[in-house]
Amino acid sequence: MAELRSVARSAYNDLLRLLHDDQVANLRGTVRQKEVGGKIHWYTAERIGQNLKW
């Protein structure tokens, strides 16, 4: 793979960050972490009436 110039690397990193920001912006509810099997996982939780939906 060819080495990218710093301008191209910066542009790529900016686009990748914007893509990740856009994906996170579409999440509904509250982002929470939960330990499962000794590992930390991130979920979105949304309250519907009295129930908490993961």
Digitized pLDDT (tens) for each residue of the chain, 54 residues in all: 567 789 888 998 898 888 888 877 777 778 888 899 999 998 888 877 777 666
Q: Is residue 33 part of a domain?
A: yes
* Conformation bin of residue 38: beta by default, left when phi > 0, alpha when psi is -120 to 50: left
Which pTM value belongs to this model? 0.44
Range of the domain at 19: 6-53
Count of the separate structural domains present in the chain: 1
Alpha helix stretches (DSSP H) within 1-54: 6-25
Q: Is residue 34 part of a domain?
A: yes
Q: Is residue 1 part of a domain?
A: no
Q: Using the 8-state DSSP alphabet, how is residue 50 labeled?
A: T
Backbone angles phi, psi at 13, to 5 degrees: -65, -40
Query: Strands across the sheet with 30-36, in order?
Result: 30-36, 39-48, 51-53
